[in-house]
Every structure is written in C-alpha cells, then in structure tokens.
Chains A and B, each alone.
Chain A
C-alpha cells in the first residue's frame, strides 16, 4: 500500500468527522430497523427491549470510544511524564497535589509504567504525597471510564465522576504526604540514579501525532471491545429481566451499609471500566442509589489488586495498606455525600 501524503491524510481525518456524526446520528433508527423491522419483534416485549438496548448501545459506545480515544491520544502527545515531573518539581504540598491530580488525567499512563514513573518522580525529589495524587488520578480518571459514563449515564454523571475522582486524588495524596511515609518506600528506590544520558526524543510532527493517536485507538479499542460487548449484554439482560426495585434493598439509598460494602467488594474486583460501567448503569435503573453506584465503580476502577501487587516492588506493605485504606475511605465519603444530596 502506498503511504498517503500528509495533505491527503489531513483531508481524510477532516472528512471522517462528518461521516462519524452521520453514522452516530443514524444509530437509533438503524437499531429500530434491525430489532423491530428485520426481526419483527413486538414493541413492548422484554426480549425486544433488551435486544434494542444492546443493538443500540454497543455501536454507540464503541463509536464514542473511538472518537474520544483518538482526540485524547492527540492531546496526550503534548504531555509526557518528563514534562509533568518538571512541572511538579519544587511545588508545595497542596498546590503540588492539585497539579499532580490534574496532570494525572492528561499524562500518558499505563499501569505497566507505574514503577518507572514512581522511580522517576522520587529521583526528582517530588514529595511522596504529590506522587500519590498522580498515581490515584491517572488510572481512576481514564478515557474509557469517561466515555462509558458519557454514553450510558450522560454528561452530568461523567463530570461528577471526574470531579469526585480529582477530589479523592488530591485529598488522599495530601493526607498521605502529611503522614511522612518516606521510610515505607523500599530503600533501593532512593539509590536509583539516572546514569545514562537523559532521554531525548525528537519533537513529533503533527502527522506523527496522528499516527500515534491512531495506534492508541487500535490498542485501546482492540483491548476493551469484548468487555464493552459483554458488559452491555449483561446490562441489557438486567434492563429487560431484573424486576424494578430489585436492587433497592441492597444498593438503595436507605441502606446505610451499602456504600462501604460496595467499596469492599469493589477493591479486590478487577475489571476495567468497560466491563463494569454498563452493569452498574443497569442496576441504577433497578433501585440502586447513584452514590453507591459511583462508589462501587470508583473502587473497581481506581483501586485494583494487580496494581497493588505491582506497587509492592517499591512500597512496603504498610504504605500500600495506608494508600488503599485512604483512597477507599475517600470513595466511601463521596458515596455517602451523593446519596445524601440526590
């Protein structure tokens, strides 16, 4: 295949947006046509409703995901852990926590890079509490979670999730910083020194940024689509077949222990946002309270056992336990506040 010229590629990128909008706008009609036209299912049947939900939501969420991951991918090429680190150097505790949490959203991050990033931050003398704010925000507020919340819950809930995630990352990091836990970092961490010439990479051209963004779409969408399909399938089943108010007794507003229990169940559960959010959305329709649902999602997405096992390489058990405990407590408080307000 002959590689396209730069101008042709820009034209292609510009053209794909209206096509995307047109397809996105036609999804409802297309899903109706498939379920009620082609398959001739009765409009009010349970199965038809569940199937419609599935046929409509799966392409919708996948399309949103593709667009958002692509846009975020371009934005992220302008950020790097090196720049973030430089921005955080010498910042006082609270300001540092706020900046670290915000930068945690936009800086490219994957859990496999958590340790090199941690080592780099420590070497630059960035306070532990500030580093934690970054490490809490980065996985919790990710584009997959935001897209699913946007697509299935609406923008208000997505915004709520992001702001609460920021509040938890800032306050937990600040709190851990105040406790002076430096001695609970493994000793070898402090001995790490950059001995080779600092990494230097040519500034990418815009077309390279597009390339990298396309790679990240392939990677992210390629990884999460089975979870989205499965999550929405389960969600569709719940929508169609679980009785109204079924969840009220377990995850409802008036059950005081539901928030801490959801978090306790959520922390060891390891699922990505793609699998868990559609299911939680369906439960919300069956009497689960929003605060409880948010708390459950945050604990599943933001705190995970594999991540803690990775962190064990650089942190002593006490600090990991404190980190998990502080974040879990923050999530529980947020859950209660939401149940009280809504």
Chain B
C-alpha cells in the first residue's frame, strides 16, 4: 500500500503522520509513509485543508486528524484494496 501524508509541516500534519505509523504498527503492516510538503503537489490532490491522508492515490482524510482507530479502519477498508 502506498501512503502519503499531505501537509507543509504544521503540528497537525506531524500528528497525522505519527498516528498513521501507529495504526500501521498496530495492524502489523509495513508500508512506506511518504510526506508531501510542496504546495503545488498538495494542491494536485485537490486538497484545500491540511493535513491530508492519501491511500493508494485516494484522498481519504483532509482537514482533521482522525484517531488511530479510524486510520486503522481506513487502511483495512476493502475500497482501498489492501
């Protein structure tokens, strides 16, 4: 699975990255978490609120930091084909 955290480095973006890693840990999955910090790249996802979470090219979260539980659900969701 390809995971991207969109955000220019604000506190929320770091929290989202940390919780995503925690969620992966808890699920015992290994996936690379890539940080997208360039504004033009963030905008190319159509995201207007940071932080954003992208799973396999799909924006699943934007503008808020979900709980670790919620991120686990999103990762396991069949629509994300993991």
Contacts and interface: CB of A to CB of B under 8 A. Distances in A.
B45 to A, nearest CB: 5
Contact of B50 (A112, A197, A212): A112
Given A199-B62, A201-B60, A193 B44 contact: yes
B59 A196 contact: yes
Given A194-B45, A199-B46, A200-B59, A112 B65 contact: no
B59 to A, nearest CB: 4
A119 interface: yes
B3 interface: no
Contacts of B63: 80-81, 108, 113
Contact of B48 (A82, A215, A219): A82
Given A116-B50, A117-B49, A199 B59 contact: yes
Contacts of B52: 199
Nearest to B6: A116
Interface residues of A, number: 32
Given A123-B43, A192-B40, A197 B58 contact: yes
A211 B10 CA distance: 21
A198 interface: yes
Contacts of B43: 116, 119-120, 123, 192, 194
A112 B46 contact: no
A189 to B, nearest CB: 8
Interface in B19-48: 39-40, 42-48
Of B49, B54, B58, B59, most A-chain CB atoms within 10 Å: B49
18 contacts: A81-B63, A108-B49, A113-B50, A115-B8, A116-B48, A117-B49, A188-B40, A194-B44, A196-B46, A196-B54, A197-B46, A197-B58, A199-B46, A199-B47, A199-B62, A201-B59, A215-B64, A219-B12
Interface of B: 7-8, 10, 12-13, 39-40, 42-50, 52, 54, 57-65, 67
